[in-house]
């Protein structure tokens, strides 16, 4: 080889080596997942706990393969906007309140039927089984994959008018509820004056007296500082608040089959941990809420409330699906 060609050959060799290294680096670059939710990024917030545990389980199962970026507090929009983002492939993962999924498929309204589940253990068993899979199957055609249901616990009633001890105590109380016809119908059946409102507007509405209160899980009351803004907490346990951990179908299908399996497994493990943490946290939350000045009461028997909302079940039988409703009622009665 002529001496004058040696530098050129060396340059070509270095260029090829650099290209190879860059290509190798690109192949092993972490997959970025944008994960959004509407509430605060608090250690006690059930949405935030779900998000962080999911990130931890992904890293434990596949170190360095995923970079999860968190977007709490409506940074990527409200639940409706995040659902649209996942459908379009613009948002990768979301922790979404189950109520909002009823806007995509009416069968999800079954989770919001008042006084459906007697306790969290029963809700877990039903939602982890046939019912949960049936519900998530309805999302696949819309471009969203259900990874499982974490929880925010049962929803209770807070307001600035009076304690709720019997259905008649709801009379005339203006309550912020999730933008859901079923919630509106349920609280009207109880005698309240429900007002549909996005979560992002709820705290200001209570502070300004636009509404008297809202229905909300214990962990969300404390994490979002409602204990300092509302007088009364009544432990109505009227609805189990399922949180759906969802992923854009486009984002999931961009992954290899092996990493798709990692995502699903990490979600299951994160949800198991999240449920345990939420249950443990709730044991101390009532005392913390009391210490911040909120008056707390139990409703005693739930039967008068169940009787008051019985017509709601029949009203929504067809929209939810009669067969699905009957199968679920059979399971919760066992």
**pLDDT at residue number 180:** 85
Q: Are 65 and 126 in contact (CB under 8 A)?
A: no
Q: What is the pTM of this model?
A: 0.83
- Percent of the chain having pLDDT more than 90? 80
Beta strands in the chain (DSSP E): 31-36, 66-71, 93-97, 144-159, 174-177, 193-196, 213-217, 232-248, 295-298
List Cα–Cα distances, 258 to 65, 77, 255, 289, in angstroms.
Answer: 11, 31, 8, 45
Instruction: Please say if the pLDDT value at position 5 is more than 70.
Output: no
**What integer is the mean pLDDT of 177-205?**
94
H or E stretch covering 77? none
Q: Are 150 and 271 in contact (CB under 8 A)?
A: yes
Instruction: Please say if the pLDDT value at position 266 is more than 70.
Output: yes
| Model confidence pLDDT, tens digit, residues 219-238 | 888 888 899 999 999 999 99
Residue environment code for 183-192, b if the CB has 16+ CB neighbours within 10 A, otherwise e: bbbbbebbeb
**pLDDT at residue number 23:** 46
Q: How many CB atoms lie within 10 A of CB 255?
A: 17
Instruction: Please say if the pLDDT value at position 136 is more than 90.
Output: yes
Name which residue leads in pLDDT, 287 or 4: 287
- Read out DSSP for 113-140? STT--SSHHHHHHHHTTHHHHHHHHHHH
User: What angle, rounded to 10 degrees, do the helices at 130-140 and 322-333 form?
Assistant: 150
H or E stretch covering 161? none
Q: Are 224 and 45 in contact (CB under 8 A)?
A: yes
Name which residue leads in pLDDT, 21 or 322: 322
Give CA–CA dist 48/31, Å, rounded. Answer: 21
**pLDDT at residue number 26:** 47
Give CA–CA dist 115/301, Å, rounded. Answer: 12
Instruction: Please say if the pLDDT value at position 100 is more than 50.
Output: yes
- pLDDT band for position 178 (50/70/90)? confident
Note the helical H segments in 89-217: 98-101, 120-127, 130-140, 181-189, 199-208
- pLDDT band for position 48 (50/70/90)? very high
- pLDDT band for position 300 (50/70/90)? confident
- pLDDT band for position 179 (50/70/90)? confident
CA angle 218, 292, 120 (to 5 degrees): 15
Give backbone dihedrals phi and psi of 219, rounded to 5 degrees, phi first.
-65, -35
Instruction: Please say if the pLDDT value at position 104 is more than 70.
Output: yes
104, with CB counted inside 10 A (0-12, 13-18, 19+), is middle
- Read out DSSP for 222-242? HHTTGGGT-SEEEEEEEEEEE
Average pLDDT, the chain: 91
**pLDDT at residue number 12:** 52
């Amino acid at each position: 080889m002529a001496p004058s060609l040696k530098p050129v050959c060396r340059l070509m060799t270095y260029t090829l080596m650099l290209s190879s290294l860059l290509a190798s680096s690109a192949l092993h670059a972490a997959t970025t997942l944008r994960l959004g939710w509407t509430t605060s990024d608090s250690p006690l917030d059930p949405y935030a706990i779900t998000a962080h545990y999911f990130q931890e389980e992904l890293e434990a199962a596949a170190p360095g393969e995923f970079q999860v970026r968190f977007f709490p507090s409506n940074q990527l929009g409200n639940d409706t906007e995040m659902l649209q983002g996942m459908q379009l492939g613009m948002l990768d993962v979301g922790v979404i309140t189950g109520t909002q999924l009823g806007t995509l498929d009416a069968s999800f309204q079954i989770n919001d039927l008042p006084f459906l589940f007697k306790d969290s253990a029963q809700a877990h068993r039903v939602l982890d089984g046939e019912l949960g899979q049936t519900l998530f199957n309805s999302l696949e055609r819309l471009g969203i994959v259900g990874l499982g249901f974490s929880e925010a616990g049962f929803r209770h009633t807070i307001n600035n008018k009076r304690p709720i001890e019997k259905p008649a105590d709801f009379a005339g109380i203006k309550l912020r509820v999730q933008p859901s016809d079923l919630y509106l119908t349920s609280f009207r059946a109880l005698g309240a004056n429900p007002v549909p409102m996005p979560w992002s507007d709820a705290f200001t509405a209570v502070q300004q007296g636009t509404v008297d209160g809202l229905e909300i899980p214990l962990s969300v009351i404390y994490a979002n500082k409602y204990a300092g803004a509302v007088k009364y907490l009544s432990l109505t346990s009227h609805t189990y608040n399922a949180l759906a951990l969802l992923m854009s179908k486009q984002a999931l299908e961009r992954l290899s089959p092996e990493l798709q399996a990692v995502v699903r497994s990490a979600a299951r493990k994160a949800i198991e941990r999240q449920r345990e943490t939420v249950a443990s946290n709730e044991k101390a939350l009532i005392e913390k809420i009391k210490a911040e000045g909120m008056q707390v009461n139990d409703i005693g028997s739930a039967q008068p409330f169940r009787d008051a909302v019985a017509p709601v079940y029949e009203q929504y039988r067809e929209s939810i699906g009669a067969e699905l409703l009957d199968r679920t009622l059979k399971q919760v009665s066992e």
